[in-house]
A = this chain, B = another copy of it.
């Protein structure tokens, strides 16, 4: 599977938060109940989103989570990239990877590089607002 449960859940949480964007901070428990996701697992996902400045968390009574920017300013790419482990095409392109000896003569590396850009652009063009409003159906699909 290209996108794991973590990425999938993260997207659902974002849509959920967007749909309750005017309600102030939403407690984790509420989201978990609505989405049918384990509280503890959701907590880990939300932490990754907080660390990447995608949502902001407020502690204590009346606390909870909310989008850190307007949903029209947040893209699916940011969300997926924040929670998926190494969302690069191949290991060769991961920042942590040691430089490959075959790199210069590698006939396929340009394809992998382009693929990363294509994926980034694809998810980058979907804003959370679009998705929350249900405008995900694209004319590209036949």
Contact = CB atoms under 8 A, between A and B. Distances in A.
Interface string A97-110: 00000000001111
Given A86-B1, A88-B2, A108 B94 contact: no
Interface string A24-42: 0000000000000000000
Interface stretch (A46-54, A56-64, A112-120): A112-120
A3 B86 CA distance: 11
Interface in A1-30: 1-3, 5, 7-8, 11-12, 15
A120 B109 CA distance: 18
Interface residues of chain A: helix, strand, loop or mixed (majority): helix
Interface residues of A, number: 42
21 contacts: A1-B86, A1-B90, A1-B91, A1-B94, A2-B2, A2-B88, A3-B89, A3-B112, A3-B115, A8-B91, A8-B92, A12-B108, A107-B131, A107-B132, A107-B136, A110-B138, A114-B122, A114-B136, A118-B118, A118-B122, A118-B140
